[in-house]
Amino acid sequence: MFDEVPVLPVVIPLALATLAVLVWHLRRSGLLSWPRATVALALCVYVAGVVANTVFPIFLDKPSASVPWHAYISLTPLGGYEAVDAAVNVCVFLPLGVLLSLALPRWSWWGVLAAAAAFSVGIELTQYVTAHLLGGGHVADVNDLAFNVVGAALGIGLLVALVRGPRATRLADRFRWA
């Protein structure tokens, strides 16, 4: 119906450029190994997938409408929010808690959680801007932000729980960027 910005030509180069920067950082820090490069790759694929599914579609020729600013944002906690949406947001951000904990091992759990929250805020702001200015197909929602943070917290907790034993800790240390 409307022309839109193609997803893959945007997210694939973005993911590849980010991967190159992360691998360069690992190499420069003397930390480059296959397990750590795998974390970098997983992080890039993860972020590309999240961006592709939360920011797009962006329409190029959607007719402009004079819609008030609040039409593209939901600030009511749990107001009309579906349990399935909450579960999806938790599940989508759970890997981010694990991946950021591996990539930022010197950060405290709350620092990792703050980074995940900042990523979620970035998504919600991008959704608002693209919906309001570029005919994007999403609405920024405070509930998405809240459940994204819950998912990241569960990911952090899951990694902490999984590495309780010395063998598991040694295995996780192969993937940690420290």
pLDDT digits (tens, 9 = 90+) for 52-94: 999 888 887 765 666 777 778 888 898 888 999 999 999 999 9
Count of Cβ atoms closer than 10 Å to residue 94 Cβ: 20
How big is the CA angle at 151 (ends 47 and 34), to the nearest 5 degrees?
Answer: 45
Angstrom distance (rounded) from CA 143 to CA 157: 21
Residue 62 confidence (pLDDT): 66
Residue 11 confidence (pLDDT): 96
Angstrom distance (rounded) from CA 116 to CA 112: 6
Does the structure show a pLDDT above 70 at 129? Answer: yes
CB proximity list for 158: less than 8 A, separation 6 or greater: 94, 97, 98
**Tokens 């945007």 correspond to what residue?**
10
**Residue 155 and residue 97 in contact, taking contact as beta carbons nearer than 8 Å:** yes
Q: Global pTM?
A: 0.90
**Tokens 């805020």 correspond to what residue?**
121
pLDDT digits (tens, 9 = 90+) for 5-55: 899 999 999 999 999 999 999 999 999 999 999 999 999 999 999 999 998
Angstrom distance (rounded) from CA 8 to CA 153: 29
Among 62-71, 116-125, 141-150, 160-169, the range scoring the smallest mean pLDDT is: 62-71
Backbone phi, psi, residue 112, to 5°: -65, -40
Strands (E) in 103-162, as ranges, are 140-141
If pLDDT is split at 50, 70 and 90, which confidence band does 1 have?
A: low
Residue 70 confidence (pLDDT): 74
- DSSP code of 79? T
Number of alpha helices (DSSP H) and beta strands (DSSP E) in the chain: 6, 2
